[in-house]
Amino acid sequence: ALLQWANLDLKTQESYELAIKGLIRPMDKSPPLITAVRCLRFEPPEFQLEIHCLHENQQYLRKIVHEIGLELKTTAVCSQVRRVRDGVFVLEDALLRTQWDLPNIQRAILQAKKKVEAELHNSLAHLNTRADGERERI
């Protein structure tokens, strides 16, 4: 499904190289896509899941938990959704409400800029390969 929504010709060398580097991403209008699910804790009647997905929202994740309950011939209700990563940003990058002042916000913006630039550099590195196979520096 990931390849289906990536808008790539799957028969090309370029799409193969992107796939092995993990750089294939769906286009903007793809539906939510679950790439991994892991049970972190199972203590009936409660359980905790880690879900890796793209283009999701809280409502979609809650629906997934409900559907898991239906598949197990029971009910399941999502009591909490906690986003721990969004793209290159992790929970530690978030500012607490008590940190919402100009110096902390400026520092967070600079740190975010570095992360985004590094991610762009890594994601676009395959586009900067010269005809002779050598890579150009961005």
Q: What is the pLDDT of residue 21?
A: 65
Shared domain check, 77 and 37: yes
Shared domain check, 39 and 22: no
Shared domain check, 12 and 46: no
Encode 65-93: b = buried (16+ Cβ within 10 Å), e = exposed: beeeeeeeeeebebeeeeeeeeeebeeee
The span from the CA of 80 to the CA of 102, in Å, is: 31
Per-residue pLDDT tens over the stretch 20-48: 666 555 555 678 888 899 999 999 889 99
Asked if residue 138 has pLDDT above 50, the reply is no
Shared domain check, 55 and 24: no
Window from 38-42, 71-75, 131-135 with minimum mean pLDDT: 131-135
The span from the CA of 2 to the CA of 26, in Å, is: 6
How many domains does the chain contain in total?
Answer: 3
Domain containing 8 equals 1-30
Higher pLDDT, 130 or 99: 99
Kindly state the average pLDDT of the residues 114-136: 72
Per-residue pLDDT tens over the stretch 74-123: 999 999 999 888 889 999 999 999 999 999 999 999 999 999 999 888 87
Using CA atoms, how far residue 52 sits from 35, 39, 74, 90, in Å, is 5, 12, 24, 13
Shared domain check, 19 and 2: yes
Q: What is the pLDDT of residue 25?
A: 59
